[in-house]
A and B are shown apart, each in its own frame.
Chain A
Amino acid sequence: MNEDAITAIVHRALEKVAPELEGIEIDPAKTFRDQFDIDSMDFLNFVIAIHQDTGLDIPEADYPQLASLRGCLRYLSARLPP
């Protein structure tokens, strides 16, 4: 899956967590927590949203890899078919 498609998945997941993040610009290098003041409940809901959107089973141990947009791009592009 290409970067644009994954970025769109991340945007949708963030919006689900916090509606005010609709269409917000994401700094790919910074963690979502640092940028958007999200907490562990938000982050869990973010992972659930990514899982629901992609069907990927994401083990808890991998959660830290999804902490930023760059991390999501790396993690998801390796696991989602092109």
Chain B
Amino acid sequence: MADFRMPSLGADMDAGMLVAWLKRPGDPIARGDIVAVVETQKGAIEIESFQSGTLRDICVEPGQKVPVGTVLAHIDGPEAAEPTMLPAAPSPPTVPPRAPAPAALPTTAPREERGARGRISPLARRRATELGLDPAALRGSGFDGAVTRADVERAAKERPRGPVAAGSEIRRAIAAAMSRSKREIPHYYLSATLDASACLDWLERENAKRPVAARLLYVVPILKAVALALHAVPELNGTYSEGLFRPSSDVHLGMAIALRGGGLIAPALHHADRCDLDGLMRALGDLVRRARTGGLKSSELSDPTVTVTNLGEGIVDAVYPVIYPPQVAMIGLGSVMKRPWIVDDAIVPRRLIQVSVAADHRVSDGHRAARFLETLGQFLAEPDKL
């Protein structure tokens, strides 16, 4: 038997509210199946199982908010003897919280979802997430105070514009993670101006051959190059906790995705180094869509081994990133700018991109991050290899 626990979905998360069970006691579970949905500061997240087996019993009911590490359910099964693969689990709570048992709710509660202040239909919840509204804070006009889609639309229209985001859940999550980062991680920074012309010329030729819907964004080959270059410098790819650096052999690129209405979230593009460019483009489109409309999976929030932030769509030349703990590096992409550049003693127009690295000095030194930038530059010069 194994415990299915409230996972940590980032350095900033200490608790989550169980919204719904998608499996019932007795249901078979395969590794990777989505077992439950949890409401966090980052919206509703689908929680996957890390083992196969059979769901035995459920310990936490929908509507209960419990600390990270709390046992939510037990899973019986062949793989149960294996250690629970809880990613980046922080110190488990010393006192296992006995959540007050809501006797009225049957274990096999149907899909009806219960917010902190009443009910909300799945459709209304989804719409609220899309609009950046906190479902639990909405007033319901439906039966028994249930929040309907019309309530969500009304709240969105009435929502004050402006500095409200400062007090939002996502802003608090970012504040917690970034404060911890600045408190604990001795950052160092360096950057290099890289010639991306060969890569972008190649991409334009490639896109010219493709129909509109199959074209690649310019950031896609750059992401692939970043993922491959990380292999050369494993000290930038992994996690640091309790005095130990754990390098990762996989490259799961956290992608900083801006949310409409404020805030950002950085879920993983799994195995970005092993995807071909089309696969990476599809995965990125899917990830951006789900980051903004709901439906991110727990592994996507807990798995990133390094994060990339791309501010290259306006006039920004360079980014000075803040590392997302427990990761040990963050890569910043500035804008691609056409500039005079000297090649073989001639001044030629080139498309340049400034790439920066923030890295953790407990794990690496500047010359290693420099090695990463050099390797990245080589990949950008040889786009056929991406």
Contact = CB atoms under 8 A, between A and B. Distances in A.
A15 B211 CA distance: 22
Contact of B217 (A19, A20, A44): A44
A68 B373 CA distance: 36
Interface residues of A, number: 19
A6 interface: no
Main secondary structure of the interface of B (DSSP, over half): helix
A34 to B, nearest CB: 10
A39 B335 CA distance: 13
A18 B212 contact: no
Given A18-B260, A60-B208, A40 B130 contact: no
Contacts of B260: 18, 20, 37
Nearest to B284: A41
Contact of A48 (B204, B212, B284, B288): B212
A57 B212 contact: yes
B101 interface: no
Contacts of B204: 60-61
Contact of B208 (A37, A41, A51, A59): A59
Contacts of A45: 285
A59 B215 CA distance: 10
B86 interface: no
Interface string A48-82: 10011000011111000000000000000000000
B176 interface: no
A40 B219 contact: yes
Interface in B362-379: none
A44 B204 CA distance: 14
A13 interface: no
Contact of A51 (B156, B213, B258, B288): B213
B212 A47 contact: yes
A31 to B, nearest CB: 11
B198 to A, nearest CB: 17
Interface of A: 18-20, 33, 37, 39-41, 44-45, 47-48, 51-52, 57-61
